[in-house]
Amino acid sequence: MSKELKLKITPLKMKRDRLLLLNQILLPRVVEWVECFDAESVSDSIKKMHVRGAPAIGIAAAYGFYLGVKKIVDNGEKVTPAKLNNIKTKLDKARPTAVNLSWATSLMLESALNYIEKSSLQNKKDMNSLQLLMELYNKAVSIHEDDAVRCLQMSERGADYIVKKRSLKKYRIMTHCNAGALATGGIGTALGLIRVLQQRGLVEMVYSCETRPYLQGARLTAYELDKEKIPVTLIADSMAAVLMQKKMIDFIIVGADRITKNGDAANKIGTYSHSVNAKLHKIPFYVIAPKSTLDNSITKGDEIIIENRDSSELLEFNGVAHAAKVKVLNYSFDVTPRENIEAIFFEDEVI
């Protein structure tokens, strides 16, 4: 296991009565923290992508569930299974593609229902609402801390696999979107693996695709890597194939928002194109994600719901129009088929 990797950045901070989310829409130009006091505001921030990245969304939703129950208790209302399910539904609708969100809220709902059932079996006239809140707060914290551990485990496992499979003095790596500390509760998934390789002195250069429509690669990945003093070069999405053709890329590593039972993986739009080009140029294409991203209820990728987001994300940037006002198709994700993926790195195994 690598020595502790200390990060200079975190996507969220939880206080007892509020969740602070680093507004990733404004980074790196402006550092702003958005305060969320209830499930509604957390759901809204997830929808607006103040917080993004599948694991981070799940963590935020867990804290949002706690805040939703806290609001019920603070209002002097009775906590019921119906109200708990309403909180979960509200949060789950914020981003339908990332399975970590519903996974986290399911754990929170289960914890709350178990506490209510336990109180009922003990024939308690009044359930201890403060104790319930403490249970839910601790559960959300455990989801957060658990993700940090899993990030390190999968990053170590993936780095070991790559070094053993293709030993080089140093690696030239391409990544797409942002799968770093900003997207998780720890060192990241794709960027976590890159951080481990950097710690071992094995990174020559990371090529970060800008990543449309919100430029998460340009604004966030490049920002993270530069902050950690990891060599990074920003490229346009459409430049990726040229770098592969010029033999400038040793492997591609990306995160995932949902992985189906057969191994198809959904990630930020443009990932599929990179996998096709990587296959043509015989470049290893890897996916790294926590097991919470695996959705065994879906057999293959074409069953995944793909978000078609608001046209403003392509027509404007920070409220400033930069394109003609025409029809917009804004799929935010695509699905990379299993046959284009050499390996998927989970925290406990390599597929």
Catalytic residues: 257
Distance from C-alpha of 184 to C-alpha of 154, rounded to nearest angstrom: 13
- From the CB of residue 118, how many other CB atoms can be counted at a distance below 10 Å? 12
C-alpha dihedral, 5 to 66 to 18 to 31, nearest 10°: 40
Tokens of 243: 């770098």
Distance from C-alpha of 166 to C-alpha of 153, rounded to nearest angstrom: 20
Q: What distances in angstroms separate CA 183 from CA 25, 110, 142, 221, 281, one per listed residue?
A: 13, 25, 17, 10, 29
Q: Are 57 and 293 in contact (CB under 8 A)?
A: no
Tokens of 122: 């003990």
Distance from C-alpha of 337 to C-alpha of 288, rounded to nearest angstrom: 15
Q: What distances in angstroms separate CA 1 from CA 4, 5, 159, 183, 192, one per listed residue?
A: 9, 11, 11, 22, 13
- Residue 256, SS3 per DSSP: coil
Tokens of 175: 């990544």
When computed from its CA atoms, the radius of gyration of the chain, rounded to whole angstroms, is 21
Q: Are 249 and 34 in contact (CB under 8 A)?
A: no
Q: How many residues appear in the chain?
A: 351
